[in-house]
Amino acid sequence: MMKWVRKGLASGIKSTRYPAAAETAPGVSPGRPRATRLAPAAAEELAARCPSGALTAQSGGIAVAHGRCVHCARCRQGEVTMSWENGYEWAGAEVATLADGLARAFGRSLHIRYLDAGACGACMSEARQLNNPYYNMHRLGFFITATPRTADVLLVAGPVTDAMRVALRATYDAMPEPKRVVAMGACALSGGVFGPSYAAGTGAAEVVPVDVQVPGCPPPPLALLHALLVVVERKPPQALGDDPPEAREGRT
């Protein structure tokens, strides 16, 4: 046993300083496309290249619906490309639904029930990383729980397959109030590359009320951490859509 103690101590502190400071280590996030100013013809060509409908040509360039993006990187390859952002604070929410003071009810600890509603395994893998020393979510008072009876947050991944609809609803119903639902990944937000079909739906919102949405395919661990910080109102949510600069200016 002493060997393990020594091994643990010898590793030193690995945990990220996020949210106290930004995490800048390379590879923590794959990044994602951001709204880009482009000529109409180029914008049309790029939008047609997008297989998931995340990109739409608008006056002034291309808008991004992050919830639909499946990180296929096609818009990064070729002659015309999107500009790319490297962040990870991606979680979005309707501010109105969060402004009910619920965060205080959760106190300083948040218990999370992960629910696989047909996810590919990458989302679960990223969620699992939250327990490793790099992300160490326990330091923020976040814990994974095995039973919905003690859960504050339902973390749903996957497009919600036909056979999991009943289990998802039953799990949600088994959680005590107050509770929040966090949908993670393109599948849980929009059905991703799978739904709608005979076997899968268009995401968690078909079955349970979703409070916080984390785009990504899969969302990296820091994006999940951001989502949980949004739930406890320690971080503000981000917009789930991104319009090109000119369209934004035109609106104001």
Partner 1 sequence: MNPNPETGDFVAAFRDACTRRWGAVVSAVDDGTRGGCRIDCPPAMLVSLCGWLHTEMGFDLATLVVEDAGAGGWRLHYCFHTESGRVELCLAQPIEMTRVPSISAVVHAADWHEREIEDLFGLDFEGHPKLGEFVLHEHWPEGVNPLRADFAAGARNASTAPATEWTPPTIVDAPGAFVMPVGPVYSDFGEAAHFQLETVGEDVIVTYPRLFYKHRGVEKIAEGKTLADALLLAERFSGTSAFAHALALCQAAERIAGVAPPPRALALRALLAEFERLRHHAATITGLCASTALAVAASQAGLIEEALLRASAVATGHRYLFGVARPGGLACDVEPGAVADLARAAQTALADLDSLDAILRYTSSFLDRLEAVGIISPDQARAFGLVGPVARASGLTRDLRESLPYGAYDRVGFFVPVEQEGDGYARLRVLLAECRQSAAIIRALASRIPDGPVATPWTPSAGTALGWTEAPIGAAFHWLRLDAEGRVVRYRLTPPSFNNWHGFHLAAENFAFQDFPIILASVGLSVAECDR
| Of residues 34-53, those binding partner 1 (CB under 8 A) | 51
Distance CA 6, CA 110 (A): 31
List the alpha helices (DSSP H) in 23-154: 40-49, 95-98, 102-105, 122-129
CA nearest to 206, candidates 125, 146, 118: 118
Q: Cβ(244)–Cβ(62) under 8 Å? A: yes
**Choice from 33, 220, 237, 244 touching partner 1 (CB under 8 A):** 220
Instruction: Report if residue 29 touches partner 1, rule: CB under 8 A.
Output: yes
Residues 44-103 that bind partner 1 (CB under 8 A): 51, 70-74, 76-77
Q: Specify the stretch interacting with partner 1 by CB under 8 A; choose among 36-44, 55-63, 213-221, 237-245.
A: 213-221
**Choice from 19, 30, 87, 241 touching partner 1 (CB under 8 A):** 30
Residues 170-189 that bind partner 1 (CB under 8 A): 170-171
Structure tokens at 64: 């991004």
Q: Specify the stretch interacting with partner 1 by CB under 8 A; choose among 56-64, 158-166, 175-183, 233-241.
A: 158-166
**102/214 with CB nearer partner 1:** 214
The size of the interface with partner 1 (CB under 8 A), counted in residues, is 71
Q: Specify the stretch interacting with partner 1 by CB under 8 A; choose among 57-65, 94-102, 199-207, 229-237.
A: 199-207
Residues 118-157 that bind partner 1 (CB under 8 A): 118-129, 131-134, 144-146, 148
**133/178 with CB nearer partner 1:** 133
Q: Cβ(146)–Cβ(114) under 8 Å? A: no
Tell me the CA distances in angstroms from 51 to 68, 69, 184, 237, one per residue in order.
Answer: 10, 9, 20, 27
Q: Cβ(244)–Cβ(58) under 8 Å? A: yes
Distance CA 84, CA 61 (A): 14
Structure tokens at 28: 């923590």
**40/78 with CB nearer partner 1:** 78
Q: In angstroms, how far apart are the furthest CA atoms of the chain?
A: 66
Q: Between 122-129 and 221-231, two packed helices, what is the crossing angle to 10 degrees?
A: 70
**In angstroms, what is the minimal distance from the CB of 144 to partner 1?**
5
**In angstroms, what is the minimal distance from the CB of 172 to partner 1?**
11
**In angstroms, what is the minimal distance from the CB of 64 to partner 1?**
16
Distance CA 16, CA 38 (A): 37
**In angstroms, what is the minimal distance from the CB of 145 to partner 1?**
7
